[in-house]
Amino acid sequence: MKNKQGIKRICWLWRLGLLILLIFLAAIRCATNPVTQQSQLMLISEEQELKIGNETYPNALWGGEGGGGEYKDEQLKQYLHQVVKKIHDASHRSNLPFTFVIQNTSVPNAWAIPGHVAITRGLLAGLDNEAEFAFVMGHEIGHISARHSASQMSWGMVTQLGLGLAGLAVTGTDYGPALLGLGSVGASLMLLKYSRDDELVADRLGVEYMTKLGYNPRYAVTAHQNLQRISNEYLKSLGQQTQERSFFEELLSTHPRTAIRIEEIQEMINQQPPAPSQVDRTNKSYFQSMTTNLRNANKVYVEYYDKAARALQKKNVAEANNLLGKAISADRNQASFYSLEGFVLLQAKNYADAERYFQGSLTLDKNYQPGLRGLGMLNYAKNNYGESIRYLQQSAKLFPQDIASRYYLGMSHYQTKDYKSAIPHLAAFAEVQPKHTSIHGILGDCYEKTNNLTSAYQHYAAQVQIAPNSDIGRASASRFSAIKPLVEKPQKK
């Protein structure tokens, strides 16, 4: 009887939830897609798109796969910016502002978020000519033109509503976990970075935009072929090999396989009207000339710097030091080489030389975020908390989601007994590293000393669960017991 009642309750709540969802969908905004001219669900305004893009950009630049910030070559940037501007002006949303950047990472990639478009050093070094570059940038700008990220966020909001209603419907039943688990899988599939269809739409727009500007669209095909080659070379540099993916992996991939995309692109090219100019525009000689320094630098990164970074991650300090010495000898103009050597020396507690190398990175680029973070960590290790705060504030401003900067900035405030300033940084760290062996005890102390006993109680409890036998665990247990009557007493009334 209980099961029958439970099933009836689920059915009734599902119907109610479905009705609410349908009413919501009927009431929300739809918008005309700039590319397809068809109506689509859109809960994100253009202003919100740009706001989110601007908030995301610094974290994408410094914290994306490969990280690295901006590759510095002003002449190259100006040349490529002119090409990107022409593509942007030919796009369906030329009214939007945009910035262009070369991201300083060997990972072959390009990306765009509303207001910003980027190509990595690793991908740019492997392109043959300006026409290939124009296609790659046209593809990324195509994602923005078709509002792919805004559409994804809109459907994500609907998904969250649907999961909330599902959770309401199944709460208190034995069926809840299974149903909510299924919903989570559906949500993760819906919220892939870009769908396979989105990628093919962006390919089509990339072909369209480059053709408008007089580039031969066949270079869209060679761009994909070069991307495949560059990706294979990069994987080999990591000691990995590309393998054929299973059907399911291919289905879930945000980027269809190169063979599939080239076939699709060839069909797109066949449907395009002839380019305005009959000249086979590639500007190959000029492109190759302008990218010479970048391609030379990229070889040094791949051969020495990237290997040094991986060696340091594996705590092979001597190997990392040797590789960085070779990198600096080959190219003395890369801030990242000096900064990484600074971290090698910091790990060895050679503070004087570490400071010299960190300062060297900032001499080359005063806003090189890892150099600022390194000086902050160095000064923290030397108990110079005022200086640590100064450098780490600059570091966190450039890269707000840099968890190391947030941790040491929070700890520097904690050491100076500025508990209120410490809390947001330490809380951000705890969110990313919830099993850290001491963070909850420190946060409990901060909250208690700022008279937030409820939060202190929760963090002391978490600390006792994670590391009960450590000094901070025992101290947290003592404070937990002391404030327990004060926190629980109001709840009993």
pLDDT confidence of residue 56: 87
CA distance 46 to 42: 10
The H or E element spanning position 40 is strand 39-41
pLDDT confidence of residue 6: 55
In order of 156, 271, 406, 416, the CA distances from 388 in angstroms are 39, 60, 12, 11
Residue 153 in contact with residue 52, Cβ under 8 Å?
yes
pLDDT confidence of residue 394: 98
Strands 116-120 and 99-103: parallel
pLDDT confidence of residue 110: 92
Strands 30-32 and 39-41: antiparallel
Query: Is residue 8 packed enough to be buried (19+ CB in 10 Å), middle (13-18) or exposed (0-12)?
Result: exposed
In order of 14, 176, 188, 402, the CA distances from 170 in angstroms are 9, 5, 20, 38
pLDDT confidence of residue 162: 45
What global pTM score does this model have?
0.81
pLDDT tens for the chain, 493 residues: list them: 545 555 555 555 556 555 555 545 544 556 666 555 555 555 567 677 788 888 889 999 998 666 689 999 999 999 999 999 999 999 888 899 999 999 999 999 999 988 999 999 999 999 999 999 999 999 999 988 877 675 566 445 544 444 444 444 444 443 333 333 333 333 333 234 667 777 888 888 999 999 999 999 999 999 999 998 998 898 888 875 444 333 323 433 445 556 667 777 777 777 766 655 545 689 999 999 999 999 999 999 999 999 999 999 999 999 999 999 999 999 999 999 999 999 999 999 999 999 999 999 999 999 999 999 999 999 999 999 999 999 999 999 999 999 999 999 999 999 999 999 999 999 999 999 999 999 999 999 999 999 999 999 999 999 999 999 999 999 999 999 999 999 987 554 4
Amino acid identity of 479? Answer: R
pLDDT confidence of residue 180: 33
- Alpha carbon 416 to its chain's center: 32
pLDDT confidence of residue 187: 30
Angle formed by the axes of helices 419-432 and 439-449, to 10°?
A: 150
> Which 8-state DSSP code applies to residue 281?
B
CA distance 199 to 107: 19
CA distance 444 to 351: 32
> Which 8-state DSSP code applies to residue 310?
H
pLDDT confidence of residue 265: 76
CA distance 250 to 206: 22
